[in-house]
Chain A
Amino acid sequence: MAKPRGTDGSLLSSLPWTIASLAMALMPHVLFMPLWITTAFLGCAIWRYSIERRRAALPSTWFRAFLALICFLGVLAVYETISGVGPGSALLAIMASLKLLETRKRRDQFVLLFIAIFLVMSALLREQYLWSLPYLVVGMVFIMTAWIRMSAEPSESVRRSFATGGRMMLYAAPLAVAMWVFFPRISTPFWAVPIDTSSGTSGLSDTMSPGDISSLSLSNAVAFRVRFDGDVPEPRERYWRGLVLHQFNGRTWSGSEPNIGRRASAQIEITGEPIKYQVTMEPTRQQWIYALDIPYRWTLDQTFMGRQQELARVVPIDQRIAYEVESYTQHRTEINLNSFAYDWYLAVPQGSNPRATEIAQQMRQEAGSDGEFIDALLAKFHNEEFYYTLEPPPLGSNPVDRFMFESRRGFCEHYASAFAVMMRAAGIPSRVVLGYQGGELNPLGDYMIVRQSDAHAWNEVWFEGRGWIRIDPTAAVAPERIELGVAESLFDGIGMEWGLAAPSMLLHQMQLSLDALNAKWNDWVLGYGPDKQNEFMRLLGMEDPSWRKMLLTLVTIVIALILLVSAILALRYRPPPRDRAAVLYQRFVDKTGLEPGIGESPDAYANRVSADCEIAVDTIHDITGSYLEARYGKVDPAALQRLEAQVAAII
């Protein structure tokens, strides 16, 4: 046999497509996998292809087994587990590489194509961006084309396979969309979703150590998006409350674990009109839920207000979530502070930051009241040489002392920390709140974007009979930080030239439009959960949507669509219409009662039937003549009409 050992000699037409689909499916994984896995895949693919080109033998079983063992141990060494999206897709990539090396027959490629489908699926589980949809569609077209080529004649043109695969996708797309819309969504998972820690997300850290980190990066990543029902609050009211830090060890502020107390909202007295809005929050893998200061009602399940009026969810936020909140800007919170808590909010480590403590106590004595002391301190920040910068010098031990008397440069954390320490030194209960401040309105989507760079720290101090009051010392130093947002306040300081600012404005406009698109995508595609589905079903006129009704609708629509596809296919594959002349001639033949023999010409038939048939001989010959003319002669409607009349006459 001329065929090489171990192959059936016809993989060359389909193997490149199978490799291409695998490569396509693998693309989004590359950034998340160790480089050696990508290299191994490319190496195996090139090797396998060259084997096919050279018609050489495949590597031996022992070698493949050895390679498999090495790769498996490699994955285990990198991930330390084999469950979860990260290690799972790494294993799939390894399996694809090794399976390529043992692909002998065309049908072996089935396994590779199934692996490609799984790779696409795991990429979608990892990230769902706007580009994930084209990735899904193009990936599937590649896979289906490879699938068709696997069983097609080796000489079939790529164009034809591609057209066939694409057409199948086109037929399947409405079915898929219908099922997607009507398949009932459930909110609770069946089993615990393994948390993938391989992809980090930026959020707020649970502690704050001003002076340890000497620069703050301006991450443009979206923290959450907000859509207001009514008017958008003023910039100075856009304080998105997150977690509260109350413990200070001289260097680091920390809070307590989310402390669920159902009575916490009872500590709040509200007045005025609520601000109603909907937040779509990106996953943080933390429990904190952000809401405008101060949230009073919210729609998120398993979410409670902690003892320090922080919102937390029982389970970490692993997926993008949406919730509605009502907040009140006018409120009195925790008017009655018990003595235990009172002491708690005054605690500072003995002997730390002595100079700051001293000056705070001195200022308090000079001021007539707590309120005047606060004003004096804020005035000090405002009037003396304090600077707002994102790259302050490191501070070392006693950071508040060094900040207040030496560096005098810092961002929100430095000011909040110093402020809280000095309040406590002067005997005023105080704490630090971490969250976001500001937000940019996107006019294109009529919603607000709050970015990671809007992260902020501010203070709350407690007054007898008034409760907690929010004070933002950063506002005293850099009011534009509050009014304009962090990015613009800094650009202003740098003094950007017009020539540079203009293109960056254009870029910013583009970013905003992209973000508007993203928000829609998140809202309607990624966020299409039980609530959105119910809303959409009502929009479609379904009363009282239930999973039964939706499944019934799904089945009905799917059956209708399948019938439609079937009808289109039947139409495409229908035999050509019979020639009108042939139909008429058949009528004449039926009338004679004699079957034409195989290969008998119409003339011969006419002669034969003339003998024993009741139709007049002339008529028979007329009909035969008209038929031959109409069917085989030049296109002539007159001949057909004649035939029609002649046949009609005998019937």
Chain B
Amino acid sequence: MSLIRWAFPRASGLFPSVSVAATRRVRRWARNRQGIDPDHIQLTARRTYILPTGVGLIYALTSLAMLLGSMNYNNNLSFLLTFLLIGLGFVAMHQCQRNIVGLVVSFAGVEPVFSGQAAQFRIAVTNHSKNPRYRIRLYLDSAVSDIHDLEPGESRVFVIPLATDKRGWVQLERFGIRTLFPFELFRSWAWLHMNIRGLVYPKPLDEVPEPPATQMALGHRQHDARGEEDFAELRRFVVGDSPRNVAWKAYARSGQLLSKRFAGADTSSQWFDFNAVESTDVEDRLSTLARWIVDADRTSKDYGLKMPGKDIAPSHGEAHRHHCLEALALFGLENDDG
């Protein structure tokens, strides 16, 4: 799913600070009024707001000018045209609000990211009604999702990118769902305050020393050490196996992904120790460890992590990598979190 990112048109004008303060106040009011939402919610008319857009204001002024013109010329057909425009404005207002009322919004997960990357919050929006919903978009202050139409019964995942700058939890405190349909004269939106958060790993440092050699031999041996290059067996590929060890020739023949196992390969696991990192800064240490883990994950070697008060036994694979990085991400934060 591609993302288009640009700045959300801010409520600015002659007094940007005033309007920003006003916006903040209105949002606080909305939040207090609505409370925290569950992860799965149907939008009601009560929480759907609507205001005219810039084009809508021009449209209103145009209609007013045309009304004055019609009165002046006493021209009944231009009266009719004017009233048709005004009527369309009213209809557009209701249509705009109805376009999002009744949609079901639910949280569909967020992948952990490294600090500095944008956390991609996935929000599923479902249209249970018999009419299509047009031009739906989710947004934050700083970013917007793609725009999509929702056919009757269709459910679609929208992605909201949220920039991160430090490890730990990134909280999506509020996001909005909005539409400009049908004529972009009105913007109808709802604010959602779901208690959803994503995990942010520490950013891996680019330049790190090699892991201390003393760590090397401490691991458990999982296999017999019978020589590094001796081929031992083929076994079914599991996630986490190094692509280097995949038996590509066998794959070409059978279509089955198999991993080569080498008897005596140096599968001796490696331990990364928080206290062994040569740095005084905690974040630096975590970032160094993150780099080591990411690099080690690309090899076939098992690795373990020693954190103060917590050891993670050497292993390999996606889940293990996450387990380790999560420990780094939440180091020192767990207690705060309760």
Contact = CB atoms under 8 A, between A and B. Distances in A.
B181 A151 contact: yes
A180 B72 contact: no
Contacts of A562: 90, 94
Contact of B90 (A128, A172, A177): A172
Contacts of A136: 77, 80-81, 84
Contacts of B79: 180, 183
Contacts of A156: 149
A152 B72 contact: no
Nearest to B129: A573
A120 interface: yes
A250 B308 CA distance: 125
A174 B88 CA distance: 11
A574 B78 CA distance: 36
A128 B75 CA distance: 9
A136 B86 CA distance: 15
Nearest to A575: B128
Interface residues of A, number: 57
Contacts of A189: 71-74
Contacts of A190: 68, 71-72
Interface stretch (A347-355, A492-500, A525-533, A536-544): A525-533
Nearest to A170: B91
A128 B91 CA distance: 27
Contact of A575 (B75, B92, B129, B148): B129
Contact of B94 (A144, A153, A566): A566
Contact of B92 (A117, A140, A152, A168): A168
Chain A binding surface SS class: helix
Contact of B182 (A148, A173, A527, A528): A148
B80 A125 contact: no
B74 A185 contact: yes
A522 to B, nearest CB: 10
Query: Which of A168, A173, A180, A527 has the most B CB atoms < 10 Å from its CB?
Result: A180
Interface stretch (B95-103, B116-124, B154-162, B312-320): B95-103
B30 interface: no
Interface string B144-171: 0001110000000000000000000000
A176 B134 contact: no
A565 interface: yes
Contacts of B77: 124, 128, 132-133, 136, 525-526
Contact of B62 (A117, A133, A177): A117
A337 interface: no
B42 interface: yes
A171 interface: yes
A576 interface: yes
A190 B65 CA distance: 13
Given A121-B69, A526-B76, A573 B98 contact: yes
Contacts of B83: 175-177, 179-180, 183
B41 to A, nearest CB: 13
Contact of B84 (A153, A173, A527, A558): A173
Interface of B: 42, 55, 58, 62, 66, 68-69, 71-88, 90-92, 94-95, 98-99, 101-102, 128-131, 134-135, 147-149, 180-184
23 contacts: A114-B62, A124-B78, A125-B69, A128-B76, A132-B77, A133-B80, A140-B84, A147-B182, A151-B184, A153-B149, A171-B91, A172-B84, A173-B84, A175-B87, A180-B80, A183-B79, A185-B74, A186-B71, A189-B74, A565-B91, A572-B131, A573-B98, A575-B42
A-B CB proximity, top 7 nearest:
A172-B87, A175-B87, A179-B83, A176-B83, A124-B77, A176-B84, A176-B87
Given A117-B81, A189-B73, 17 more contacts: A120-B81, A124-B75, A144-B183, A147-B183, A151-B184, A164-B182, A168-B88, A172-B90, A173-B87, A180-B79, A186-B74, A565-B90, A566-B98, A572-B98, A573-B98, A573-B101, A576-B128
Interface of A: 110, 114, 117, 120-121, 124-125, 128, 132-133, 136, 140, 144, 147-148, 150-153, 156, 164, 168-169, 171-177, 179-180, 183, 185-187, 189-191, 193, 319, 525-529, 558, 562, 565-566, 569-570, 572-576
